[in-house]
Structure 1
């Protein structure tokens, strides 16, 4: 049985990532060793990405995660796609299978498990999805899998929102022309953009659109309490931070990389420790 694993993350910016702690501590709890390498490259073009992935293939990696802004760009640079990743059109996990690189999407499975209790406890109604990039695509497919009545998708790049709505048109997804149209009378709202993730302190949705009869989720976790979630909670909305999505998606990736089921508590404790250390109040 293999007991040492080299894994990592490709993206930018990723210095804030809690993934190294989650993967390495989950491995330690299982009695194996994992080194999780951050591969932070700004503005990588196609040739840069190809070179990085070739390195992943040749240097003994079990696999790598991929995050913003490369989840879609790597699609045609790898050898094969799992059915879910092929349908979604975005990859956040690449597994090395011999000499082949196979793409998966654990954002979708991770978000589905994170959002299910909130959906089950909330009134049904339209859901607004803000952001149609890599993580937005995964979240859209996850929500569609629950049979939501209407999924309204808005992105600053209207073509991206329209394309994603087209992918899901048989599952009641529509392109919203504005944030206001997407959110009007919505039962729930998900932010799948980097807006509100540090160093940004902006919000993707005007405060006036948030109210107590809706739920609000954010895919970002740096910080856990984004400006959007802080305002939504203050207005009485049920909220979901990016914590469970991050932990669940990492757990699913870990299993793909290693073939081992990670202890949820080890991953959750590692994530919480990173957050506590990063956002602890200054010593007095």
Structure 2
């Protein structure tokens, strides 16, 4: 691989819907370079499977790969090193190949922080409810802590996982885990879905519509579809909403810069993302 021609990819399942190939390849083209972005879609990979795939990434000339559900936490202790932010979060969504070493980063956190700032600046302050304490949930929690929110409440279908994330954040912000969706949402000024619930082909919602109201804002990390059942219900209730678009683009832009040392055009990546979404909508209409 050279600066002008490089190989990157995405490891996860399911990822056939991903807009990442279009975003990275278009960003490279806008810089006069060529990127091939390979989807590495493997269901049910165990530790030995992941180790073998990571060794292939190390040896096959990749500049790096992104990691998505369900492997963001599973890859952590298979890497040679983690940058401090990724180590604190305990999840990785970007692996950079540095010589023969694999270095873990987390651009979900930086991408979400930039995406959510305009919404936080224009809505009332108050407790924020986070649904999901897995890989992306951890990144979002640390991003919110870095933005100085007043209180974070965390719910996960695995109570121990929610409690562990709350423990990680003790001392940084006021934080607690909750035993139910109702408890975490009650009185919250904002709500973030950091679970795959609502991602196609799933059409469920992580929060009953009856708990949504106009005085709260609602964000979703899912972007396939862009308008999840949760966001559609929240908008119908009159709530301010944020789709997964800006998180996806911001995280991808930060990963591209780590892979290549070049600053990508966020506009080019956004255009590529929007084209993928438009084509998908047209195909399903």
> How does the TM-score come out when normalised to structure 2?
0.98
1:152-205 per-residue CA deviation (whole Å, 9 max, x = no partner) reads: 000000010000000002111110111001000100000000001111100000
Question: Which residue is equivalent to 1:72?
Answer: 73
Q: CA separation in 1, counterparts of 2:249 and 2:231?
A: 19
Unpaired stretches in structure 1, ≥5 consecutive residues: none
Q: Deviations over 1:191-245 (max 9, x none)?
A: 0000011111000001000000000000000000000000000000000000000
Query: Which residue of the partner structure matches residue 161 of structure 2?
Result: 160
The list of structure 1 runs, each at least 4 consecutive aligned residues, that deviate by more than 2 angstroms after superposition, is: none
Q: Which residue of 1 aligns with 2:217?
A: 215
SS in structure 1 opposite 2:214?
A: coil
**Which of 178, 190, 203 is 1:201 aligned to?**
203
Q: Give distance in 2, aligned partners of 1:28 and 1:70.
A: 29
**Equivalent in the alignment of 2:38:** 37
**Which has the higher mean CA deviation after the structures are superposed, 170-179 or 14-23?**
170-179
- Once the 2 structures are TM-superposed, how far is the Cα of residue 124 of structure 1 from its aligned partner? 0.5
Name the SS of the counterpart of 2:262 in structure 1: coil
Please report how far the alpha carbon of residue 281 of structure 1 lies from its aligned counterpart in structure 2 after TM superposition.
6.2
Matched, 1:8 2:9: yes
SS in 1 for 2:62: coil
Q: Which residue of 2 aligns with 1:234?
A: 236
Distance 1:261 1:39 in 2: 25
Query: Aligned residue for 1:48?
Result: 49
Give TM-score, length-normalised by structure 1.
0.98
Q: Aligned residues, how many?
A: 283
Secondary structure at 1:279 match in 2: helix
The answer for the alignment partner of 1:183 in structure 2 is 185
CA–CA distance in structure 1, aligned partners of residues 87 and 254 of structure 2: 17
Instruction: Tell me how far 1:149 sits from its aligned partner.
Output: 1.0
Which structure 2 residue ranges, 5 or more long, are not aligned? none
Tell me, in whole angstroms, the C-alpha distance in 2 between the residues paired with 1:264 and 1:97.
24
Q: For residues 69-122 of structure 1, what are the alpha-carbon distances to aligned partners after superposition, in whole Å with 9 as ceiling and x for unaligned?
A: 000000000000011100000000000000000000000000000000000111
What SS does the aligned partner of 1:194 have?
A: coil
